[in-house]
Amino acid sequence: MDILRRLGQYLDRPGFPWKKLIIGFQITQYLFEGILSLRQYKILQLPKPPKTLEGEIKQETFDKSQAYGRAKAQFGFVSGLYSQAQNFATIYYDVLPRLWDLTGIWLSRYSPQGFTGEIVHTIIFFFTYNLITTTINLPVSYYSTFVLEEKFGFNKSTVKLWVTDLLKGQALGVALGVPLLSAFLAIIQKTGNSFFYYLFLFGIAVQLFAITVYPIAILPLFNKLSPLEEGALKTGVEGLAKRLDFPLNNLFVIDGSKRSAHSNAYFYGLPWKKHIVIYDTLIEKSQTEEVVAVLSHELGHWSLSHTTKLFGIAQFHMFYIFALFSVFINNRSLYQSFGFHKEFPIIIGFILFSEALAPMDTVVKLLMNILSRKFEFEADEFAVRLGYSTELAKSLIKLQIQNLSTMDADWMYASYHFSHPILPERLGALGWSSREKKADPTMVDETKSKVATGREL
């Protein structure tokens, strides 16, 4: 506590150029990520797949994957510049203090008796700001869904569904955001300098609540979950779960095809009660043995305590974020640098603190991706020990093709951005070698039994 207090005093220097420093951070990060993207773009222009994939991927499929990667990269360049321009304009034109003052005027003129104070003001400010940023970013979202994804055959959504999802998301944001934001502010107001301990406990409670409530009350607003029908797949997955003592409670199929042709699956739940969800887009694309192999990889994460370790790391990260926020929450020089001279709202302090913390978050992202890729290799090895080496390799190749995922990557770009190893690395670790020159693995006899594969591998 004393260290945090003294650090806070040291950083609160009148006239310190916080605005210039944060703008400098943003520009540096943008340029750094741009350089990485240019390195990756060169990889996306290569005419031939990696040697590991030459016997597995048709040239036509590889060319389409490369084209999809380039299209996403080009879109990323433009959308990134658009986002950077928004951030710069928000800071340069003092949008935050202007909007805070404007919402304060609305509150004083139009709010009912008793609806006053910082919490009410913050709620109005927050959702007004969110509405503005959402509206500004609508063209980006529309282009991504109805131009880019549509061009490569992945979009299954309609404008009506897209708008409906947007409205549902905004309504859900208000329904959940109001009590959560109110509790966040009230905890800080009432617990003094030790607020970060209580915020940490509150954060854990919110996560447990989300794990429990999301699949029951929130997910059904956007998708339909149906029990997996009886058959070879269900028998195989249940047998795998029993073999590993995985506390499987339900097997579901989700109608992901109503929005996208991309494939995915995941599991969720409390430690003693787990559920597996498989996208319907996968049901027609893999054979039973391959699905079980993929799920052996996923359950490997659980068996090797990867999910528990990542959850623990997330809690530590959350605690240090709240602890560091206690250093900045009363930093008048930070507020004043961004145009707040009379009022020092908590939410503004948290927003500005988040911007100042961006360089550290970049390092955390890099380290977490390194750890995540290590866990992916370990989960693959776990599946191999269960006897699913060949089936897992085949399913990974199929998923790569079905999703037109990146076949190769620049090492610097992958280290920074990728939480999963690229396919050639995983096949190499699996010891995979094609016994014969294969056709495109998506060209499977349509009469064969097909089922779903695992979550985001």
Which pair of structure tokens corresponds to residue 87? 């951030």
- One-letter identity of residue 161: L
User: Beta-carbon neighbour count of residue 447 at 10 Å?
Assistant: 6
Give residue 447's Cα distance to chain centre.
36
Full 3-state SS string of the chain = CHHHHHHHHHHCCCCCCHHHHHHHHHHHHHHHHHHHHHHHHHHCCCCCCCHHHCCCCCHHHHHHHHHHHHHHHHHHHHHHHHHHHHHHHHHHCCHHHHHHHHHHHHHHHHCCCCCCCHHHHHHHHHHHHHHHHHHHCHHHHHHHHHHHHHHCCCECCCHHHHHHHHHHHHHHHHHHHHHHHHHHHHHHHHHHHHHHHHHHHHHHHHHHHHHHHHHHHHHHHCCCEEECCCCHHHHHHHHHHHHHCCCEEEEEEECHHHCECCCCEEEEEECCEEEEEEEHHHCCCECHHHHHHHHHHHHHHHHCCHHHHHHHHHHHHHHHHHHHHHHHCCCHHHHHHCCCCCCCCHHHHHHHHHHHCHHHHHHHHHHHHHHHHHHHHHHHHHHHHCCCHHHHHHHHHHHHHHCCCCCCCCHHHHHHHCCCCCHHHHHHHHCCCCCCCCCCCCCCCCCCCCECCCCCC
- Which residues are identified as catalytic? 298, 380
User: Cα–Cα distances in Å, from 322 out to 180, 262, 369?
Assistant: 16, 36, 22
First to last CA, the chain: 42
Calpha distance 14→88 (Å, rounded): 23
